[in-house]
A and B are shown apart, each in its own frame.
Chain A
């Protein structure tokens, strides 16, 4: 069975500082990996995804993530955050052969950017 663990429930950071949101997964098969952002009272917006190829993936809003197969991690990073990055971030995985497309989500990390 798959599982996703986001190691930090809350990450406070000052504006223009770098940030890393950690995500580890467990799966016996190959997976696709996703990071989503959720602003208050809104749905989820895709930040980036890893399907195959280069392990460093660049997404929207200056975010990037690196897939590390040996450590089963997919940490999200941004070199300089803005106040507007304050939101909830979710890591998710889907089994490569799961044609039903079912996603497994982590618990979420609340990023709070302070001036």
Chain B
């Protein structure tokens, strides 16, 4: 149980276009999902916390107008990179918390590799 999927697993796009990444909890309901960004050989950087039915909470320095997050249901959160540029190329990982679990353990998706040309 507690499987999180991401789609697509990789995407290549032209500069200026928008890209949507989906994060789904497959076998559980997730009231909270997180979006991370990871550069090569670096740690995960939390971008935002996404709660179902409410606006996402962005970390300092993350442009909310550039990285649009929608958490429309208890099993789906989306991250849209708007007007992508080469510097947005990165590995994006989502995670979800199993509702009702005291430790709030995060279950991670497999990640999405974004390359902006």
Contacts and interface: CB of A to CB of B under 8 A. Distances in A.
Q: Is the interface of A mostly helix, strand, loop or mixed?
A: loop
Interface in B74-105: 91, 93, 95, 97, 102-105
Nearest to B38: A38
B105 A46 contact: yes
Nearest to A88: B41
Nearest to A99: B104
Interface in A74-105: 90, 94, 98-103, 105
A102 B36 CA distance: 11
A14 interface: no
Contacts, number: 55
Nearest to B112: A43
A47 to B, nearest CB: 12
Interface in B13-49: 32, 34, 41-44, 46, 49
B103 A41 contact: no
Nearest to B4: A43
B70 interface: no
B32 A32 contact: no
Given A41-B113, A90-B44, A102 B93 contact: no
B108 A45 contact: yes
* Interface core residue of B93, B103, B109 (most chain A CB under 10 Å): B103
Contacts of A28: none
Contacts of A34: 105
Contact of A100 (B32, B44, B103): B32
A41 to B, nearest CB: 7
A87 B64 CA distance: 32
A94 B104 contact: yes
B43 A108 contact: yes
A29 to B, nearest CB: 15
A32 B43 CA distance: 19
10 contacts: A43-B4, A43-B6, A49-B103, A90-B43, A99-B104, A100-B49, A101-B106, A105-B44, A106-B43, A108-B42
The 3 closest A-B pairs by CB, nearest first: A101-B104, A43-B108, A44-B108
